[in-house]
């Protein structure tokens, strides 16, 4: 009887940990949009208050990047985005010219957001935010439940990859360059 109780005391916490891990994994997996689908349009205010529509960037490869100034992993990933942007912004691809980033911030303070853009040297022109953190309708339409989160779009606005971090974004863009 004591052995059975010990096994139960070991099995129950192990099952609870497995279930918690599955819940966390499933809650961070994007379920709203998929590779091959048309990306939902986004129209949000830039740092100067002018709306920038994602659809206005069709004709280029676009990385839709969800991030925030208060997100440590996002700030570290920004280094990779800057490197990829500088390398590919003027490249001739097989079916288009150029690459850009459309940054969607989940910040709620415009001055802190602007400071992060400057400090991280995010030189592309497409920075937008609803300034309402997680209540951002764009994050909801993409199913973003954790950041950084990104979506690579082809020149027609279709999603061709999701969450390319580190050097994976550069590797994917390298494949698309005209030879």
Report the DSSP beta bridge partners of residue 99: 61
- The CATH number assigned to the domain with range 32-176 reads 3.40.30.10
Chain-wide mean pLDDT for the chain?
A: 87
Q: Where along the chain do its domains lie?
A: 1-30, 32-176
Question: How far, in Å, are 1, 19, 109, 171 from residue 135 at the CA level?
Answer: 52, 27, 14, 32
Is this prediction's pTM over 0.85? no
- At 178, give phi and psi (nearest 5°): -65, 135
With a pLDDT cut of 90, the percent of the chain lying above it is 77
Residues 6-16 have pLDDT tens digits of 555 555 554 44
Nearest-CA neighbor of 38 among 165, 151, 125? 151
The residues of the chain scoring below 70 in pLDDT are 1-31
Residues 25-46 have pLDDT tens digits of 333 445 589 999 999 999 999 9
């Amino acid at each position: 009887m004591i052995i059975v109780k010990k096994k139960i005391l070991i099995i129950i916490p192990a099952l609870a940990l497995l279930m918690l891990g599955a819940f966390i994994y499933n809650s961070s997996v994007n379920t709203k949009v998929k590779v091959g689908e048309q990306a939902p349009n986004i129209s949000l205010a830039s740092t100067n208050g002018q709306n920038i529509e994602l659809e206005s960037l069709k004709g280029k490869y676009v990385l839709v990047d969800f991030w925030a100034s208060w997100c440590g992993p996002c700030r570290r990933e920004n280094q990779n985005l800057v490197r990829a942007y500088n390398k590919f912004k003027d490249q001739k691809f097989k079916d288009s010219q150029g690459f850009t980033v459309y940054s969607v911030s989940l910040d709620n303070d415009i001055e802190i957001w602007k400071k992060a853009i400057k400090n991280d040297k995010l030189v592309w022109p497409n920075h937008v935010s609803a300034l309402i953190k997680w209540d951002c309708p764009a994050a909801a339409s993409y199913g973003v439940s954790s950041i950084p989160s990104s979506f690579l779009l082809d020149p027609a606005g279709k999603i061709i990859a999701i969450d390319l971090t580190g050097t994976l974004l550069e590797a994917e863009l390298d494949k698309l360059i005209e030879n």
